[in-house]
Amino acid sequence: MAQQSDYLDSLTSHFQTVPIVKQLSEKTGLPASYVAIGFIGLSFMLVLFGICSGLMVNIVGILYPAYVSFKAIESKETDDDKQWLTYWVIFAAYSFLDHFIDILFFWFPFYHTIKLIVLVYLFWPKTLGAIWVYNHIVGPFLKQHEQLIDSALGGDKSS
């Protein structure tokens, strides 16, 4: 129980820096971690039940990473730049494949829920899934076909 309390305390200190969460926390009198968990839970439930699921997946998979990428570009540190560049490479590949996957699986129960989980896995700081997918799947594929892709695009490696 103490471990859960410590985790909630760390979440509260983290989410206290998010203005909207801080504002809702102050208005409701709830800890910031509860407000954030409530929002995350509500979002997940909306996707799970198919209510605005496409919109929610785009908010989580595009808007949040876009904003965090902006923050990474504006910061002096460069360690997070690689993570977010990698995320966008993987996201582009995922988006391309999703057009074909969607044709086959749009009827599948919880399709958007699975998409949401995959996208969160790709950018979550503890999993760094995009880096794993790049290192094991996309990177080797692109390196193997780099000359063919470069010639098809009419460019060379130096550009």
Per-residue pLDDT, averaged over 102-120, amounts to: 85
CA distance 141 to 93: 11
pLDDT, residue 157, reads 56
> Quick check: 130 and 87 in contact, CB under 8 A?
yes
CA distance 88 to 96: 12
CA distance 97 to 148: 20
CA distance 82 to 104: 33
28-68 residue pLDDT tens: 998 888 888 888 888 888 888 888 888 888 888 999 899 88
Domain limits, the chain: 1-48, 53-159
- For the entire predicted model, the pTM comes to 0.75
149's CB contacts (< 8 A; 6+ apart) are 142
Query: To which H or E segment does residue 139 belong?
Result: helix 139-144
118-142 residue pLDDT tens: 999 999 888 999 999 999 999 999 9
Evaluate if residue 158 carries a pLDDT over 60: no
> Quick check: 36 and 18 in contact, CB under 8 A?
yes
Please give the DSSP secondary-structure letter assigned to residue 155.
-
SS3 of 8-69: the string is HHHHHHHHCCCHHHHHHHHHHCCCHHHHHHHHHHHHHHHHHCCCCHHHHHHHHHHHHHHHHH
- Per-position DSSP letters for 67-131, written without gaps between them: HHHHHHHHSS--HHHHHHHHHHHHHHHHHHHHHHHHHHHTTSTTHHHHHHHHHHHHH-TTT-HHH
> Quick check: 83 and 127 in contact, CB under 8 A?
no
